């Protein structure tokens, strides 16, 4: 049985919760690994908005430099029209990125030199 996408774009609550958990764990893990490799505590928190732009926007990256007058308003329009489920999912990814930085700070303050 194939999933049917309804016109309203509504997402069941269990799909939202699983997606939020996946984004949180995914960006926590990526942030943790980047922190270990690069020794920059908040690197994933800084990179995360760029990743969100790539997820949300359909404008090519080079157009932000070549045609900024049209690209940035289009980005603002796309972000303002996101559904609440999308905002929850992307917000949980940001929480995961921030948590990875917090965990790194705690580990370093407790004397773990590897991190």
Q: What is the pLDDT of residues 23-69, one digit of tens each?
A: 999 999 999 999 888 888 889 999 999 999 999 988 888 988 999 99
Residue 9 has pLDDT above 80, yes or no: no
Residue 2 has pLDDT above 80, yes or no: no
Confidence of residue 85 (pLDDT cuts 50, 70, 90): very high
Residue 79 has pLDDT above 70, yes or no: yes
The three state secondary structure string of the chain is CCCCCCCCCCCCHHHHHHHHHHHHHHHHHHHHHHHHHHCCCCHHHHHHHHHHHHHHCCCCCCHHHHCHHHHHHHHHHHHHCCCHHHHHHHHHHHHHHHHHHHHHHHHHHCCCCCC
Q: Whole-model pTM?
A: 0.82
Identify the pLDDT of residue 3.
37
């Amino acid at each position: 049985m194939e999933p049917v996408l309804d016109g309203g774009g509504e997402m069941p609550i269990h799909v939202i919760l699983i997606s939020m958990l996946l984004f949180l764990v995914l960006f926590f893990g990526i942030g943790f690994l980047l922190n270990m490799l690069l020794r920059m505590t908040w690197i994933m928190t800084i990179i995360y908005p760029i990743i969100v732009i790539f997820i949300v926007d359909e404008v090519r990256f080079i157009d932000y430099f070549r045609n900024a007058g049209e690209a940035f308003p289009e980005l603002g329009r796309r972000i303002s029209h996101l559904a609440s489920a999308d905002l929850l999912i992307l917000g949980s990814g940001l929480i995961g990125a921030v948590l990875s930085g917090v965990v790194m700070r705690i580990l370093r303050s407790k004397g773990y030199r590897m991190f």
